[in-house]
Each structure stands twice: as C-alpha cells, then as structure tokens.
Structure 1
C-alpha cells in the first residue's frame, strides 16, 4: 500500500531520491547551525564596534542592528524548533574571520577619527553581505525543501540585513566619506 502524503510534507520532483533529499536536509540544518553561531557571535562583537565608533549616526545604526541581531538569533531558534531540532551552533569560520578583520581595523585606526568610522562601516558591510548571501541561499533551500514557513522567517531577516546594509551606505555617503578626505593624520 502506498504511503499517503500529508499536507505538511514537501512534494519533490520524481527524480529526487530519498538519499539526495536527506543529504539536502542535513546540509540545510548544518547551514542553519552555522548561521546561528554567526548571529550569536555578532551579538558579542557588535558592542565593540559601538564603543569604537565616534559618529552618533553610526553608533545608533549599530545599536539598532544589535537589537535586530538578537531577534535574528530568536528566529533561528524558532527555525530549529520547526525542524524538530535543538538549537545548536556550529562554528562559522567566515563570521569569525570577518569579525577579526573588523577588530583589526579598529586597532589600526586612530580613535575618534572619521577614517575609523569608515573602516567600521566597511567591515560591517562585509558582515551584512555575508549574511545576505547566507539568508538568500537558505531561503531558496527552504523553498526547495517545501518549508515555506521557514522560508518566510528567513525572508524577514534577509530584509532586515538588506536595510542595515543600506543604512550603513547612507551614513558613509552623507558626509563621512568627504570628511575623511579632509581629515589630517595626527
């Protein structure tokens, strides 16, 4: 007797084998765990960037994104629950490298300078672009796996990451870039 599909189970192309599907599911869960580590790591790293920034607009943008990042962590925990999994982080080498680079920029630039603020913006945008790429890919995988509710959650975060990136560009373009050119090395 053939197994009847429930409304919650994804429908797959007939060419997709159960083994391929299982591997894709595992890859998806593993990628969620990687992103979970990355977001938690940012919750710890962003306060350092707030302290290092001197532009009030930049400080506020990072503070706002820190609060959003805490929400991103909670959303990923919700996704783990929807997958029937415990929320477990898997070290994200990419995010670790990006945050180390940001710390290096802070160490190599003078406190209180526009150059440091622009370095923080550049480093932050690298982080945002990594997150945008990750959330976009995971969103597409969720759709492929028939996990629309998870795809919708990922879309929420993806939109916020894009807005954070745009805000950083706006801060740089609304004067900091030009002020940095005129800044005299002390």
Structure 2
C-alpha cells in the first residue's frame, strides 16, 4: 500500500490510511488511538448487553463495566492531553468485529440462560482484547519513560482483569443453568 504524502498532522493521510510510523512514540500514539476507539465502541455495546441480559447479576456487571469504561476513556483522554495528541482518527476494527458478534448474540433466538452464557462469552472476548492492548501500551509507556501513563494504564489493565474474573465467576452458574435448559 502506498501512503499519501499529504503530511496532515492528524496522523492520517487523505485516503484514511495511517501515516508512516518512525519510532515507538508514533506506535504508542497509534495504539492509544486504537484502544480509545475500542473503548468508545464498547460503551454502546455494554448498554445493549446490560439490557439483553436476563440474569440481574450479569446485567449489573455490564452496568458496572460501562461505568469503568467511561473512566478508562477519561484516563486515555488525560494521556492524550499530556502527549499533546488527539484521541480520535482511528477505528479499532478488532473491537468492531467483537461488538458485531455480540450484537448477533443479542438477536439470537435463545433461552435466557443460553443468551446470557453467550453474552458472557462475547464480553470476555472484549475483555481479553483490552487486557492485551493495555498490557502492550503499559510496556510501551515503561520503555518511553512515561511513568504517569504507566500508572494509568496499569489501573485500567487491572480493572479489565478483575472484570474478566467476575464474568468467569458468573459464567459458572449461568453455564450450568444453560446446560439444564
């Protein structure tokens, strides 16, 4: 693929392709933009999943994670501000796919427990993507000597791991219920 030589400061060429990255700092910003997009997409998906869940504890877990996701977005905005960069300009295609699969799950004709089990599976896919993304970003921030970013990214990564563990705990009971339907 050829890159446009427009030199736009947004990090995007006129055809929407990313500009050439020359160092780890450029990659760090690009990956931050990607996870920012992922979090934005997840806010809408979590609202839908909370409404679709029949188990009250699962619905509450999705609502709680929605609140955390809003905090994650604020942390990312703080990092972007400190970097003098804009958070937009990139769409996380991986999260688009994960969210699309979750939306298909919501539309499936399934018993409540089976739908809830499928919602947990979709949510855990998103969690694992985020855990991976934040771990990578934290490592980049460490290498770049951005300790404040490291602390913010570690907090988010830890929250993502805790949410994944909570979903695993809920899945134990819900999966058994789904098996017995």
TM-score for the superposition, normalised by structure 1: 0.83
2:27 matched to which residue of 1?
27
Partner of 1:13: none
Structure number with greater Rg is 1
* Separation of aligned partners in 1, 2:56 and 2:109: 18
Alignment match, 1:118: 117
Query: In the aligned structure 1, how far is the partner of 2:44 from the partner of 2:155?
Result: 22
Distance in 2 between the 1:153 and 1:178 partners?
37
The answer for the alignment partner of 1:92 in structure 2 is: 92
Tell me how far apart the structure 2 counterparts of residues 78 and 94 of structure 1 sit (CA, whole Å).
Answer: 24
Residues 1:144 and 2:148 are matched in the alignment = no
Deviations 1:122-170 (A, max 9, x none): 0000000000000000000100111111011000000000010000000
Cα contact 2:32–2:87 (8 A) shared by 1: no
Check conservation: 1:109, 1:115, Cα contact below 8 A. Answer: no
Q: How does 1:57-136 map to 2 (within 5 A)?
A: 57-110=57-110, 113-136=112-135
- Structure 2: gaps spanning 5 or more residues: 1-20
User: In the alignment, is the contact (CA less than 8 A) between 1:36 and 1:89 conserved in 2?
Assistant: no
Separation in structure 2 between the aligned mates of residue 88 and residue 168 of structure 1, nearest angstrom = 30
**Corresponding residue pairs, total:** 161
Output the aligned Cα RMSD.
Answer: 1.3
- Look up the match of 2:164: 165
- Stretches of structure 1 lacking an aligned partner (at least 5 in a row): 1-20
Distance 1:57 1:89 in 2: 36
Aligned to 1:179: 177
| Runs ≥4 residues deviating over 3 A | none
